[in-house]
Amino acid sequence: MDTRVAPGLRPLTELFSMSPEKKLKITALAGGVGASKLLLGLYQVMDPRLLTIIVNTGDDIVLHGLKISPDLDIVTYTLAGVVDSARGWGFRSETFHSLKRLAGYGRSNWFNLGDRDLATHIHRTALLAEGKTLSQAADSIRTALGVKSRILPMSDDPVPTIIDSNEGPLHFQEYLVKRRAEPVVQGIRFEGADSARPTPGVLEAIHDADRIIICPSNPLISIGPVLAVPYVRELLRARREKVFAVCPIVGGKSLKGPSDKMLAQLGHQPTALGVAKLYADFTGAFVIDPADKAQVTAISALGMKVAILPTVMKTLSQKRKLARALLQL
């Protein structure tokens, strides 16, 4: 049998020998940088066309008249292989000439916008102005960048995350980026969530998936907004046995960002158990790091299976390893 194939095509022998877990339809709920590590692993170890990613858009913001969707872009750039992997966001080898000039015109520059990245926001804003939906814009961007997985914003309707803080209400990006997560969080609101509609395909992707993965993102402001979109949490509950959540807290610290601090300020435990309590109603299997194995009993008591896997993903090999383990659970 001739197994020579064009570059980029899998040899037939590999397809025939593909293990069953590689043929699973996977739907992932994701935020930005933290989620993208696991998603890149999944993208590489499975058929990426069988992967659907439902992305938080609570972080979306309009700046300088441009519609910016940070989590959608982080996921897309990461899977496209163009992301600045040191920062986890934006394009590699990016320049910031335009932002510097915008600041020269007296415009705010606390939100970093690179020159290449601006093209994404200009393109998306132009498509929306032409009457396209956010999900159509996201699809245009991911296909142009050659990403084979479906990337769905959780909703085409705006659902901005508002942080009620000791400094008053702040848009999430103002809280995180402009104010560097310094204000004390007193509450979190997903404005407009009640009347938001899930993007076409979101409910189907949850309904039809062989396995649903909750990425290791901030449970409050990355996964929280997705869960707040009508029918999403209810449908996850109905498919609870298929839901695998990867805990974003290891040893009482966030893998990325201010999750631990926010959990504590809102009266949750900043631990794996604390996150497990937030997810118990819709999660069948909770994945924790070996560092947290002492919490297995307490988490099991919430009615979830507990899997212990290394969840700290600094290298590509660690990302692929966790992804493969999740598919084989």
Can you point out the beta strands (E) in 76-210? Answer: 150-153, 161-165, 168-171, 185-190
From 58-66, 174-182, 240-248, 297-305, give the range in contact with a copy of itself by CB under 8 A: 58-66
Rule CB under 8 A: choose which of 25, 64, 233, 240 binds a copy of itself: 64
Give how far Cα 213 sits from Cα of 106, 170, 203, 204, 285, Å: 43, 30, 14, 15, 10
Pick 2 or 130: Cβ nearer a copy of itself: 130
Q: How far apart are CA 93 and CA 120, in angstroms?
A: 16
CB of 133 to a copy of itself, least distance (A): 16
Q: Would you count residue 118 as binding a copy of itself (CB under 8 A)? A: yes
Q: Does 133 bind a copy of itself (CB under 8 A)?
A: no
Of these, 45, 141, 170, 220, which contacts a copy of itself (CB under 8 A)? 141
Let me know: does 248 contact 34? Beta carbons within 8 Å: yes
Kindly determine how many residues on this chain lie close enough to bind a copy of itself according to the rule CB under 8 A: 30
Query: From CA 63, how far away is CA 178, in angstroms rounded?
Result: 13
Among the residue ranges 34-42, 61-69, 150-158, 268-276, the one whose residues contact a copy of itself (CB under 8 A): 61-69
In the shown chain, the binding pattern of residues 5 to 44 toward a copy of itself, with x for contact by CB under 8 A and - for none, equals ----------------------------------------
Binder of a copy of itself out of 44, 85, 140, 186 (CB under 8 A): 140
Q: Is 88 exposed, middle or buried (0-12, 13-18, 19+ CB in 10 A)?
A: middle
Q: Any contact of residue 87 with a copy of itself (CB under 8 A)?
A: no
Min separation Cβ 52 and a copy of itself, Å: 22
Under the binding rule (CB under 8 A), the answer on residue 104 touching a copy of itself is: yes
The answer to whether 126 contacts a copy of itself (rule: CB under 8 A) is yes
End-to-end CA distance of the chain: give it in Å, rounded.
34
Closest to a copy of itself by CB, 100 or 180: 100
C-beta pairs of 258-266 under 8 Å, 24+ apart in sequence: 258/176, 258/181, 258/218, 259/218, 259/219, 259/220, 261/181, 261/185, 262/181, 262/185, 262/188, 262/218, 262/220, 262/221, 263/219, 263/220, 265/184, 265/185, 265/186, 266/185, 266/186, 266/187, 266/188, 266/220
Task: Reduce the DSSP state of residue 131 to 3 states and report it.
Answer: coil
Strands 249-250 and 211-214 come out as unpaired
Determine if 101 is a binding residue for a copy of itself (CB under 8 A).
Answer: yes
Does residue 184 sit in helix, strand or coil?
coil
Choice from 12, 15, 129, 294 touching a copy of itself (CB under 8 A): 129
- Provide, rounded to whole angstroms, the least separation between the CB of residue 150 and a copy of itself: 18
Identify which of residues 102 and 302 has a Cβ nearer to a copy of itself in the complex: 102
| Residues within the interface to a copy of itself (CB under 8 A) | 64-66, 91, 94-95, 97-102, 104-107, 115-116, 118-120, 122-123, 125-126, 129, 140-141, 144-145
